[in-house]
Amino acid sequence: MSTSASSKAVSAQTGTVLQILFSVAFVHLLNDCVQAVLPAIYPLLKQEFALSFTQVGLITLTFQCTASLLQPWIGLYTDKRPIPFLLPVGMCVTLAGVGLLAVAGSFTVLLLAAAMIGVGSSTFHPEASRVARLASGGRFGFAQSLFQVGGNLGSALGPLLAAAIIVGRGQGKIGWFTLFILVAVLVLVGVSRWYGSHLRNMPRKSGAPAGSGLPRDKVIKALAVLAMLVFSKYIYMASLSSYYTFYLIEKFHVAVGTAQLYLFLFLAAVALGTFAGGPIGDRIGRKRVIWVSIMGAAPFTLALPYADLFWTGVLSVIIGLVMSSAFSAIVVFAQELVPGKVGMIAGIFFGLMFGVSGIGAAAMGHIADVAGIAQVYRIASFLPLLGILAALLPKMEQVRR
């Protein structure tokens, strides 16, 4: 009798867990869709506010820095003292930032709006990543990939929705995207209730969590290698996400709508590659996925600056597919290196992703002003060669055995 009741309880809990996992992935889609609107409307903002490429880069830097600097601290704090309702509260900050972006009348207000959207992001990512891991049922790579692919799909949809709703209709139409954030807030209220209930029902564990089995110096070395791989990956990705439309318009003289379609194809490839990376890492090992993902993109990034319009589109899709498969594997690999610090590690690596992207976008904006937009892609094409550093990562499967 008790065994039957226990089995039914486990079955019911499993269904709830899958619902929560898909919920956080869906909110990640909405959150990153709205965030992707910002770079998608850069041509509009550049024209309306007479911005230079350096100022465009500063907008990205402001968003990425506020989205990155708070994340590790939030993750570290909530590892010790979880705050389930931080998720909907943080999303409300994003809601205020999007509303401000719709009515901004100066470059300073644009920076403030970008900063508020970044603060909302910094509260969402580490906590939502933790919820995805709790809801994984032990399939950590799959859960992290599903969570991440929600964000990538949102990033891919953002430019299309921006083209349909904002471009040609004015800055005020950005206000429509507050509806997306309102939906995200409502979903996160339900997620936070499950999260709080899950924490209350979790058995209390005594003592510190088991370590990774590696000496401290090797753990630090491995984390430094992962950080360098994130550096190479996301500075290159920033060159495509922030300046790809400008590059296509300047080099191939395509219309803004056509350029945004190419950006959508790249971002859709990123979403597909992200989804594949986690489950493949669960099966064949995360180190192999990381190695192939970053180093394997190098031939295509090196060819991109010299391709015609058709092959530029093809190469960007291949680059998106290959490079994007690494991030979920990197996050889970790092969490296995430092057990018990799920939020802090997620915060560090999501924060590093945003911070590196922001710094890279600002630096490349300056290069574009000085040497031309094409030079950005010639310089950035060498970054994936840093993927060779993946050879220095330990084989976690052997360590666990």
pLDDT in tens, 167-195: 666 777 888 888 999 999 999 999 999 98
Rounded-to-integer distance, Cα 9 and Cα 167, Å: 51
**Lowest model confidence (mean pLDDT) among 35-39, 75-79, 154-158, 164-168:** 164-168
Residue 4 within a domain: no
Domain for residue 3, yes or no?
Answer: no
What gap in Å lies between CA 87 and CA 350, rounded to an integer? 16
Asked whether the predicted pLDDT for residue 259 surpasses 70, the reply is yes
For residues 239 and 373, what is the distance between their CA atoms, to the nearest angstrom? Answer: 10
Rounded distance between C-alpha atoms, residue 54 and residue 42, angstroms:
12
Q: What CATH number has the domain bearing residue 60?
A: 1.20.1250.20
Q: Does the pTM of the predicted model rise above 0.75?
A: no
The mean of the pLDDT values for the chain is 81
Task: For tokens 């350096």, name the residue.
Answer: 54
Residue 339 lies in a domain: yes
Flag whether 136 is in a domain.
Answer: yes
- Residue 211 gets the label, from left (phi > 0), alpha (psi -120 to 50) or beta, of beta
Give Cα separations from 237 to 103, 316, 384 (angstroms). 29, 10, 10
Work out the pLDDT band at 353, boundaries 50, 70, 90: low
Asked if residue 300 belongs to a domain, the reply is yes
Residue 76 lies in a domain: yes
Residue 338 belongs to some domain of the structure: yes
Q: How many domains does the chain have?
A: 1
Q: Which of 35-39, 188-192, 313-317 shows the lowest mean pLDDT across its residues?
A: 35-39
Nearest to 317 by CA among 304, 331, 332, 334: 304
Domain annotation covers residue 400: no
- CA 7, CA 361: separation in Å to the nearest integer? 52
pLDDT value, residue 168: 65
Decide which of 298 and 68 is more confident. 298
Structural domain including 361 reads: 17-199+210-395
Measuring CA to CA, which residue among 21, 321, 14, 270 is closest to residue 141?
21
